[in-house]
Structure 1
Amino acid sequence: MAEHQFHLKAHWPGLRNDVGQIEAGNLVTKISIPPQMEGPGIGTNPDEMLLGAAATCYIITLAAMMQRSNLEKEDLSMESVGIVDVTNGVFTYKKIIHRPTIVLKEDASQRDKDLALKLATKAESSCMISRAIQGNVELELEVKIETAEKV
């Protein structure tokens, strides 16, 4: 069994509403509490980072699965939403919704479209981050499949 380690350094010099910094490989950014939680909103925050981890893991997994299946695409993009519930002052990361848009080649068959939808669904359960948060955060998919327009 091979293990991979990822390292992050964090520095938080102040109090609740101050600003800190993290460094993890190529990710170097300021961090603070978001304005929705009455913070300064400088840099990023744990909520955005969890959403970012889930979204990047999903879209990279989907692209790799499409490549392995020899399903050619014109483009792949996505919007994701993280929903945090606040009940009695307790913040709970409730749900992540991924809305991928897969643009297939203009001559894509119905079989290609069906495969794209199958892979988009399978990528969610194959992604390491999705598996890590499964059972704690609800995951939802809203897939859009298009074909490239003829030029």
Structure 2
Amino acid sequence: MNHIFRLQADWNGGRNSTGTIESGQLKTEISIPESMGGPGVGTNPDEMLLGAAATCYIITLAAMLERSSIGVESLTLDSEAVVDVTNNIFTYKSITHRPLLVLTGGQDEEARTKAEKLAYKAESSCMITRALQGNVEVSAEPTITVGEKTP
């Protein structure tokens, strides 16, 4: 079974112009970021790629934890991308996901260890990471804690 996604884009001129994109629930302005010499309006391809990788990773991790019956009090994510600029050539180098996972209280060390393994496995299981494989280094640096046990 194939899932089809469509995106419509409108661009208003040359390199330093702005545009819009719309795809399902996503509707936003786009341009080149100020840090790369553009107008910095809306989002840009670098943020969108990071957003795709981060949302895929956190959803994949949440599903894996649920299937493993590991209780989660909270799951947050800080992701960082590195784009190299050499000789005016922009290359997306790496993405690092740093999930902070707080397990529900009362879980043992075995659950914490399994959650940590899943946090690493989710990085390679995500379809966006698989699409980037061989081009962009993607890694995970999880922090796993167990919350207070409630009476």
- Could you give the per-residue CA deviations for residues 14-62 of structure 1, whole angstroms, max 9, x where no partner exists? 1111110000000000000001101111100000000000000000000
Indicate the percent of aligned positions where both proteins have the same amino acid. Answer: 59
Q: Which moved more, 1:139-148 or 1:96-105?
A: 139-148
Using structure 2 for the length normalisation, give the TM-score. 0.97
Matches of 1:38 and 1:149, distance apart in 2: 48
Divergent runs of 4+, >6 A: none
Structure 1, unaligned runs of 5 or more = none
Structure 2, unaligned runs of 5 or more = none
The letter for the 2-side match of 1:123 is: A
- The answer for the alignment partner of 2:83 in structure 1 is 84
Partner SS for 2:83: strand
Matches of 1:150 and 1:43, distance apart in 2: 43
Matches of 1:22 and 1:41, distance apart in 2: 15
Tell me the number of residue pairs that the alignment of Structure 1 and Structure 2 aligns.
150
Q: Say what the alpha-carbon RMSD is for the aligned residues.
A: 1.0
Matches of 1:3 and 1:150, distance apart in 2: 44
Matches of 2:118 and 2:139, distance apart in 1: 15
The letter for the 1-side match of 2:73 is: E
Kept in 1, the 8 Å contact 2:106–2:149? The answer is: no
Matches of 1:128 and 1:5, distance apart in 2: 15
CA shift, 1:150, in A, is 5.3
Alignment of 1:1-150 (within 5 A): 2-149=1-148
Partner SS for 1:11: strand
Using structure 1 for the length normalisation, give the TM-score. 0.97
